[in-house]
């Protein structure tokens, strides 16, 4: 027995040394994490202070500091997202006021006096290029915000899935290729906006206006474009109001499969090769629309207005006449 204990002593000593080393490493890692969290807290506080500066350069520095924190710390990512969204929403101005102004063209080829401020664009660009998988359920709230002429100058991905842009003023905004899946664009104004190749699958667009918008190649699969509400006339008859306006919009090659488009206004719209299979188009207005090679198979078409529509090569539509 004594011999066994003597033989085991070196092994026990080695095990004890290993356990002690492991405890030291664990303590060191814990202290390192505490130190890192403290450093990030200090960086975050400094960045927040910079956002309140009167100097544009200092505010931009605060935004880029928050961007770096968002990249370095998954734990702080949702907080930074909320801060940047609140900054953009506050400093961009209210769409309640901007929508009272005349509907002048704000496209890039024209003068663009209403484009968001540089720091607002920087904040939204940072949000648009974040990692959505780190949001932890945080919703980017840009509702009721004046974002006329919003334009990203480079080709980085615009990732804003589930963003809240309800009642936002996005006239002439440039969002080509943006990921706006399940976004809320309820009552948003997107007149003359560039939305080509945008992903609006499952998005809510009730009451939205998209007059002259370019949606070439976009995906609006299962998008909800139902009317915004109901009202009753003097006889008590209830009718739907604030239906989606897509007059003169370009929807060539758009995926509108299973979209809810009841009473949508598509007069003079271009739908070359659009896929509307299974879409609900009951009582929609397609007068003078160009439906060349569009696919309406399986769509609900009760009450659709077709007068003047070009239906050459279109499938699943009643013949001209």
- pLDDT, tens only, 130-149: 999 999 999 999 999 999 99
pLDDT at res. 155: 67
Q: Which residues pair with 194 in a beta bridge?
A: 174, 214
Q: Of 201, 238, 245, 236, whose CA–CA distance to 221 is shortest? A: 201
Q: In percent, how much of the chain has pLDDT > 70?
A: 82
What is the tens place of the pLDDT at every residue in 83-107?
999 999 999 999 999 988 876 654 4
Report the SS3 class of residue 64: helix
Separation between Cα atoms, residue 13 and residue 165, nearest integer Å: 65
Q: State the average pLDDT for the chain.
A: 87
pLDDT at res. 82: 95
Q: Residue 317 in contact with residue 311, Cβ under 8 Å?
A: yes
Q: Which residues pair with 232 in a beta bridge?
A: 238
Give residue for tokens 């929609």: 284
Q: Does residue 315 surpass a pLDDT of 60?
A: yes
User: Of residues 65 and 18, which shows the higher confidence score?
Assistant: 65
DSSP category for residue 33 = H
pLDDT at res. 239: 72
pLDDT at res. 157: 80
What is the tens place of the pLDDT at every residue in 185-232?
999 999 999 999 999 999 999 999 999 999 999 999 999 999 977 777
DSSP category for residue 44 = H
Q: Does residue 241 surpass a pLDDT of 50?
A: yes
What would the mean pLDDT of 254-276 be, rounded to a whole number? 97
Q: Which residues pair with 204 in a beta bridge?
A: 184, 224
Q: Does residue 286 surpass a pLDDT of 90?
A: yes
What would the mean pLDDT of 220-249 be, rounded to a whole number? 85
User: Of residues 56 and 228, which shows the higher confidence score?
Assistant: 56
User: Of residues 285 and 41, which shows the higher confidence score?
Assistant: 285
Separation between Cα atoms, residue 180 and residue 95, nearest integer Å: 20
Spell out a b/e string for 237-247, using b for 16 or more CB atoms within 10 Å of the CB, else e. eeeeebbbbbb
Global model pTM greater than 0.75 = yes
Separation between Cα atoms, residue 91 and residue 45, nearest integer Å: 20
């Amino acid at each position: 027995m004594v011999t066994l204990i003597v033989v085991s002593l070196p092994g026990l000593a080695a095990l004890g040394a290993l356990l002690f080393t492991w405890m030291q490493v664990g303590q060191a890692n814990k202290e390192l994490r505490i130190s890192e969290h403290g450093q990030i807290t200090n960086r975050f506080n400094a960045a927040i202070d910079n956002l309140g500066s009167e100097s544009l350069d200092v505010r931009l520095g605060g935004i880029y500091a928050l961007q770096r924190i968002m990249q370095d710390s998954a734990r702080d990512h949702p907080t930074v997202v909320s801060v940047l969204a609140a900054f953009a929403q506050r400093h961009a101005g209210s769409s309640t006021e901007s929508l009272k102004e005349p509907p002048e063209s704000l496209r890039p080829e024209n003068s663009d006096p209403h484009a968001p401020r540089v720091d607002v664009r920087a904040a939204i660009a940072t949000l648009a290029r974040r990692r959505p998988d780190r949001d932890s359920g945080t919703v980017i709230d840009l509702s009721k915000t004046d974002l006329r002429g919003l334009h990203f100058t480079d080709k980085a991905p615009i990732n804003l899935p589930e963003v809240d842009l309800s009642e936002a003023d996005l006239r002439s905004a440039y969002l080509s290729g943006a990921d706006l899946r399940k976004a809320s664009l309820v009552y948003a104004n997107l007149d003359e906006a560039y939305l080509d190749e945008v992903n609006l699958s499952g998005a809510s667009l009730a009451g939205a206006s998209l007059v002259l918008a370019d949606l070439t190649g976009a995906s609006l699969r299962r998008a909800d474009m139902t009317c915004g509400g109901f009202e009753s006339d003097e006889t008590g008859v209830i009718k739907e109001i604030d239906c989606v306006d897509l007059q003169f919009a370009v929807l060539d090659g758009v995926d509108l499969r299973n979209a809810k488009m009841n009473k949508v206004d598509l007069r003079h719209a271009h739908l070359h090769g659009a896929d509307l299979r299974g879409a609900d188009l009951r009582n929609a207005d397609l007068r003078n629309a160009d439906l060349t090679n569009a696919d309406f198979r399986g769509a609900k078409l009760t009450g659709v207005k077709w007068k003047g529509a070009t239906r050459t090569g279109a499938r699943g539509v009643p013949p001209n006449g």
